[in-house]
């Protein structure tokens, strides 16, 4: 009987994991423009005072914005709390 309960528990846990992973793309909807500044500063390894954020656009699975760092413009994406930035005209993603 304990083997049956164990199998049911594993099955239920598996279904729960699949259901939660299906919701993952919607997690980014809670990200705000104010969240992008500290995350971008961490990406560049500098203080928030050295970064400017503009043109923030929030999507379901990611958010796009532009960051200005040391006078240079970067196109950035924020996906699942991870920031990636590249200079316009370059391919880096």
pLDDT tens-place string over residues 28-79: 566 778 889 999 999 999 999 999 999 998 876 678 999 999 999 999 998 8
Return d(Cα 37, Cα 41) in angstroms, integer.
6
Each domain of the chain, given as residue ranges in start order, spans 25-93
Strands 82-86 and 72-79: antiparallel
Tokens of 65: 């914005």
DSSP SS3 for 70 = coil
Question: Whole-model pTM above 0.85?
Answer: no
């Amino acid at each position: 009987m304990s083997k049956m309960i164990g199998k049911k528990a594993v099955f239920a846990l598996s279904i729960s994991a699949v259901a939660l992973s299906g919701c993952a793309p919607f997690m980014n909807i809670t990200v705000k423009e104010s969240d992008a500044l500290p995350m971008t500063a961490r990406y560049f390894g500098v203080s928030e005072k050295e970064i400017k954020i503009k043109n923030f656009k929030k999507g379901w699975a990611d958010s796009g914005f532009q960051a200005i760092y040391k006078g240079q413009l970067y196109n950035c994406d924020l996906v699942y709390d991870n920031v990636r930035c590249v200079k316009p005209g370059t391919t880096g993603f």
